[in-house]
Amino acid sequence: MTEPLMTGTNGEARRGKLARDKVLAAASDLFYRKGIRAVGVEEIVNKAGVAKISLYRSFRSKDDLIVAYLEARNAEFWREWDAAFSKYDDDPRAQLRAVMTHLGRRTTERNYRGCPFINYAVEFPGASHPGHRVVDANKREWRRRLVAITRALATPKPERTADRLMLLIEGAYAISQTLNGPDGPAKEIVSAAEALAGARLA
């Protein structure tokens, strides 16, 4: 059965969404691999295979596209978290170990380019840029979930323990861009988390 032609208002909406999705996918790949400031609109539309006008119909400016990129990465991150770790909601020790094991594996991959939210914040230090609200939301949600885990573990000071774990995680993200690979310091993240949480996670 052939696909019906996209005609009229519905067809225009579908074409517009398709073009937007292509632009966002291209920008997401390029922004993460090359850096946001290094990538121009021309490179994005060339990779997406659309006309420049298609980009500006969906995103009023590059800043709007940057925000959409960050929002998409944030939503994807928490979807993946829920899919991978929500099954451990009744076992906080197993959940923390699973989270840290994943981070240890991810941050020691040779092609890992670091946390996209940290990368953005380095490129755009000014707090007035609209992308900072997305980054702030991501990190605050990280902290909230860590506090939930440390409370479930009945640690004496769950907020303080969560903050220490947060520093450990951010350190693993950062060291991944210097001493990278399976022999780098990030491989110790599980044992370090065990020590910080004061609980046997195995």
Termini Cα distance of the chain: 54
**Residue where the block lists tokens 């004496």:** 156
pTM of the model: 0.89
State the pLDDT confidence band at 1, using cuts at 50, 70 and 90.
very low
Q: CB–CB of 44/26 below 8 Å? A: yes
Give the integer Cα–Cα distance in Å for 37 and 54.
21
Domains by residue range for the chain, with CATH: 1-59 (1.10.10.60), 62-197 (1.10.357.10)
Give the integer Cα–Cα distance in Å for 196 and 113.
26
Range in 38-42, 50-54, 183-187, 197-201 with the lowest mean pLDDT: 197-201
Q: Does residue 144 carry a pLDDT above 60?
A: yes
Q: What is the pLDDT of residue 124?
A: 97
**Mean confidence (pLDDT) of the chain:** 92
Stronger pLDDT, 128 or 183, i.e. the higher one: 128
**Residue where the block lists tokens 């605050």:** 140
135 closest CA partner among 199, 202, 191, 67: 67
Instruction: To the nearest 10°, report the CA torsion of 31, 181, 195, 116.
Output: 0
